[in-house]
Amino acid sequence: MIVLGIETSCDETAAAIVSSEGDIIAETVLSQLEDHRPFGGVVPEVAARAHLEYVDVVVSKTMAKADLSFHELDAVAATGGPGLIGGVIVGIMTAKAIAASCNLPFLAINHMEGHALSARLSKAGKVPFPYLLLLISGGHCQLLNVKGCGKYKRLGTTIDDALGEAFDKTAKMLGIGYPGGPAVEAAAKKGNAARFALPRPMKGRPGCDFSFSGLKTAVRHIALELPEGPFLKTDIADLCAGFQVAAGDVLADRTNNALDIIISDHPCGNSLVVAGGVAANQFLRKRLQILANKRSVELIAPPISLCTDNGAMIAWAAIERIQDVGMSQAQDNLNFRPRPRWPLDPDAPKAAFAGIKA
Ligand code: KG4
Ligand code: ZN
């Protein structure tokens, strides 16, 4: 089976063709970085217009690389949400148009499900269900029990900001560029993490929820007290290192609580998967590896190209669904409506600590 996946929910216009054997036959990721850089962050309207301009080129280029025509595909999938709605509409309409004109099945994929299943996209063999997923991206920070394809139980979520958002704002406050995550990681390499006292929001509390707004505010207060003018390189490095260590401590603490729940429910489920754009961070991966070693679970992190937004994870999530329930049940109607919000676990209770500021 060969599926085309299209991803347009944020600031990457991406497409990929993936086989049911887990082979990424061809892929293209066009970053809109330069379109958004002047604004220091993703501007939804700019993103939507850029997706509209780039999506045809990205899809055609991917088809050409694979040397395939649309008629040779088994299905077309696109991110149906959650995400910036203008971009999602562009991707969904493109997939619908290809599906309608070539009489192919169309699938709308939850963007978070794409991230959740990306660790199973491997020719080397799939990570078995169930596993604990730590999904850390620009828009989400969640711990999920991935019981099977389409079977997700949310154990915790952020009560305010996503971790990627905190990375991006930290970089913006320090004037070190956009996107913030890679900039903070690079700056932190030479920093002294112990110099500034930063909070570890939610650490030590029961449950698996997160909070990052207090950490972001603490960075702001420290930055405001630094000497005026362009920040010194050492100040930036120390603050980034302190921020990253605090974020790592919080992730490890909350994930440790989630492992308690998963291991008591499924003594055999012994994998911890970390996915989403922030999972590209090598320091945080090492921090989670320490936790995994301590808890005797295997840490699985997809390759960095699969951590940040991409079309392959969308095509793969479609393949998983088709394999799980069969094509006729897996496909969506062409009147599917793009969704700005689309919880992976619709039954999840509200964050237990909602309203409490760290
Ligand atoms: O999953 P993703 O590509 O898009 C969303 O669905 O949000 O994640 C983007 C986020 C951004 O906040 C970006 O700064 C962050 O992932 N990110 C990183 C790193 N690379 C990307 N954060 C920390 N360290 C990195 N190396
Ligand atoms: Zn994402």
**Ligand 1 centroid to residue 138 C-alpha, Å:** 5
Q: How confident is the model at residue 222 (pLDDT cuts 50, 70, 90)?
A: very high
| Pocket residues: Cβ below 6 A from ligand 1 | 10, 137-139, 164, 167-168, 179-182, 185, 276-278, 280-281, 308-309
User: Across all residues in the chain, what is the average pLDDT?
Assistant: 94
**pTM, 2 dp:** 0.94
For the beta sheet containing 106-110, the strands, ordered from the edge strand earlier in sequence to the opposite edge, are 24-31, 12-19, 2-7, 75-81, 106-110
User: From the alpha carbon of 171, which atom of ligand 1 is closest?
Assistant: 14
Instruction: Choose the weakest-confidence range: 38-47, 80-89, 212-221.
Output: 38-47
* CB contact at 8 A, 118 and 275: yes
Over 80: is that where the pLDDT of 355 sits? Answer: no
* Mean pLDDT of all residues in 220-237: 93
Structure token digits, residue 356: 């409490």
**Ligand 1 centroid to residue 280 C-alpha, Å:** 7
* CB contact at 8 A, 212 and 196: no
Over 50: is that where the pLDDT of 357 sits? Answer: no
The four Cα atoms 146, 147, 149, 151 give a dihedral, to 10 degrees, of: -90
**Structure confidence by residue, pLDDT tens digits, 148-181:** 999 999 999 999 999 999 999 999 999 998 889 9
**Ligand 1 centroid to residue 164 C-alpha, Å:** 5
Over 90: is that where the pLDDT of 314 sits? Answer: yes
**Ligand 2 centroid to residue 135 C-alpha, Å:** 9
**Ligand 2 centroid to residue 151 C-alpha, Å:** 19
Q: Percent of the chain scored above 90 by pLDDT?
A: 88
Nearest CA to ligand 1 atom 7: 138
pLDDT at 267: 65
**Structure confidence by residue, pLDDT tens digits, 238-257:** 999 999 999 999 999 999 99
The four Cα atoms 231, 232, 237, 238 give a dihedral, to 10 degrees, of: -90
Own/partner long-range contacts of 96-104 (Cβ < 8 Å, ≥24 apart): 96/334, 96/336, 98/4, 98/59, 98/70, 99/75, 99/334, 100/334, 101/70, 102/70, 102/71, 102/73, 104/70, 104/73, 104/74, 104/75, 104/76
Nearest CA to ligand 1 atom 14: 181
- Among all bound ligands, the one having the nearest atom to the CA of 284 is 1
Comparing C-alpha atoms, which of 68, 72, 57, 65 is closest to residue 6? Answer: 57
CA separation for the pair 115, 312 (Å, rounded): 10
